Amino acid sequence: MPCFDCLTFDNGYSQLPASFYSRVMPQALDNPRLVSVNPKVAHLLDLDSDDRDDMLAVTSGQRVPAGADPLAMAYAGHQFGIYVPHLGDGRALLLGEVRNVHGERWDLHLKGSGHTPYSRQGDGRAVLRSSIREYLACEAMHGLGIPTTRALCLVDSDTPVQRESLETAAAIIRVAPSHVRFGSFEYFYYRHKHVELRQLAEFVITAHFPALAGRDDRYSLFYREVIKRTAEMIARWQAVGFCHGVMNTDNMSILGLTLDYGPFGFMEAFDAGHVCNHSDVQRRYAFNQQPDIGYWNCACLGQALLPLLGDDVDLIKEMLGHYPDDFSSAYSSLMRQKAGLMTQEKSDSFLFDNLLTLMQKNGTDYTLFFRRLCDFEPCRENAPLKVLFKDQDALTQWCQIYSNRLKLEQEKADTRQMTMKKVNPKYVLRNYMVQIAIDKAVEGDYSEIDHLLALVQKPFAEWPEYEHYAELPPNWGDVLEVSCSS
């Protein structure tokens, strides 16, 4: 039996009323090639990753698995601050929901599957370069311990797609417990469809927040939990230096997962105001804006939930009021871990503020700095750290303060170093690394994709064969531009 037909489909979303989605069949890609299968995600689904024929057939849209019920989900969203009522899956389909042997439910989401009623002017396709980026990025985030959608496999094809130039279409199967977004709730709220709004909330709560099901205060507790998860997810982004690039409310997962990888980027030379999306001319989604945008997006969600909360604006405000603390306690705890501080001191925030200011002035590579900090030795030269700074005297001063701070810690130096290497990655998925994989793939050589997949899934480990990826990025990486074009 083909491997996808062995899955246990338990499609809940397609049981919701017709206004939640449109049933659509995938449109097959021309001459598809299987680029990569992610065995870890196949394992999550109890899927046989060796059945490459079926992986190819399903991902390329040639075959719909028995038990699947493909549909394009309807949603709306605030895009760059402006409400857009008609979005929805314009180039993706929820193939169905499966349950694995542990009873966990997973959405199978095929991205790049062709036209849907929500495609607007789009062609319903995803180009190879953006599919490679998403395929690798979500696994990189998972490897870093950041909640995210996952990716099962990637297919390339000869189907032509026009972007700035002519490219080819690809597809990935994305996997997550749910693909419901903030914008899914906004869709019904702004249409004054309060019955459907309630049905959506009940669906999400029953499936994903079962402890709240049936409680009188379930909607407010649900909102509170989404706020918490969102703040904690963004704290993790900030601590690792991840810039999402398009934090529209239609790209905000109701489960607090990093969702929809477009022009994302990992921080290289530290710049708090870094904008990774070349199309974001107003700098709305700059790195240092992400925490506030998370708050703004949660406020949008709160507005959409008002009808379920008796239009109690004060309750929404009270719940939102937790966001800043949720964010800063998660962020400061992550930053302390990065610096090997097990205890908490009032002055710690100054230590980090000073450090980031120093890194900004010196264009210090964010990932390299923290990885090298793991080997920091008080009262020593610490040359590998120093070379990352133009103003080495300023760093020496900071190191002095850091050394004094470390004296307040109980931990032995080698234990601290070991713990720090578990939270400060040696590897992040830098744009130039993905670009190498993309350039090769365009030439028909897909090998670097699997190399990078393995690498980013274990970013804290030592990989002697990939030592070059743990160095400063090459200069040509600086001029790479990524935009909304995908």
Q: What residues are annotated to the active site?
A: 250
For the bound state, the minimum distance from the C-beta of residue 251 to Mg ion, rounded and expressed in Å, comes to 5
What's the token pair of residue 471? 């160095």
Question: Residue 467, Cβ neighbours under 10 Å: how many?
Answer: 10
- Helix, strand counts (H, E) of the chain: 16, 13
**Amino acid letter at 83?**
Y
Nearer to ligand AMP, 43 or 120 (CB): 120
Q: Which does 119 bind (CB under 5 to 8 A by kind): Mg ion, ligand AMP, none?
A: ligand AMP
Helix axes 182-189, 194-208, angle to 10 degrees: 160
Q: Which residue minimizes CB distance to Mg ion?
A: 260
- In angstroms, rounded to a whole number, what is the distance separating the alpha carbons of residues 138 and 135? 6
Nearer to ligand AMP, 124 or 459 (CB): 124
For the bound state, the minimum distance from the C-beta of residue 105 to ligand AMP, rounded and expressed in Å, comes to 23
* Residue 123 contacts ligand AMP per CB under 6 A: yes
> Binders of ligand AMP: how many residues, by CB under 6 A?
16
Mark the segment that binds ligand AMP (CB under 6 A) among 85-93, 237-245, 298-306, 375-383.
85-93
* Residue 89 contacts Mg ion per CB under 5 A: no
Mark the segment that binds Mg ion (CB under 5 A) among 160-168, 257-265, 335-343, 459-467.
257-265
Mark the segment that binds Mg ion (CB under 5 A) among 213-221, 249-257, 328-336, 417-425.
249-257
Residue among 32, 65, 70, 88 that touches ligand AMP (CB under 6 A): 88
**Helical residues (DSSP H) of 309-461, grouped into ranges:** 313-320, 323-338, 348-362, 366-373, 383-386, 392-406, 413-421, 431-442, 447-457
Nearer to Mg ion, 167 or 260 (CB): 260
* Residue 260 contacts Mg ion per CB under 5 A: yes
- In angstroms, rounded to a whole number, what is the distance separating the alpha carbons of residues 48 and 210? 30
- In angstroms, rounded to a whole number, what is the distance separating the alpha carbons of residues 159 and 137? 24
Nearest to 291 by CA among 336, 247, 225: 247
Residue among 124, 245, 459, 473 that touches ligand AMP (CB under 6 A): 124
What's the token pair of residue 342? 């097990």
> Who contacts 255 (Cβ-Cβ below 8 Å, separation ≥6)?
147, 176, 177, 178, 180, 208, 229
Identify the sign of the CA torsion 274, 302, 199, 44: positive
Q: Are 188 and 200 in contact (CB under 8 A)?
A: yes
H or E stretch covering 200? helix 194-208
Mark the segment that binds ligand AMP (CB under 6 A) among 40-48, 117-125, 264-272, 420-428.
117-125
Give 170's strand partners: 126, 156
* Residue 186 contacts Mg ion per CB under 5 A: no
* Residue 302 contacts ligand AMP per CB under 6 A: no
- Residues 223 to 262: which contact ligand AMP by CB under 6 A? 246, 251, 260, 262
Nearest to 47 by CA among 108, 95, 132: 108
* Residue 251 contacts Mg ion per CB under 5 A: yes
- Residues 257 to 296: which contact ligand AMP by CB under 6 A? 260, 262
For the bound state, the minimum distance from the C-beta of residue 246 to Mg ion, rounded and expressed in Å, comes to 7
* Residue 89 contacts ligand AMP per CB under 6 A: yes
Nearer to ligand AMP, 207 or 484 (CB): 484
In the complex, the residues that contact ligand AMP under the rule CB under 6 A are: 87-91, 118-119, 122-125, 246, 251, 260, 262, 484
In the complex, the residues that contact Mg ion under the rule CB under 5 A are: 251, 260
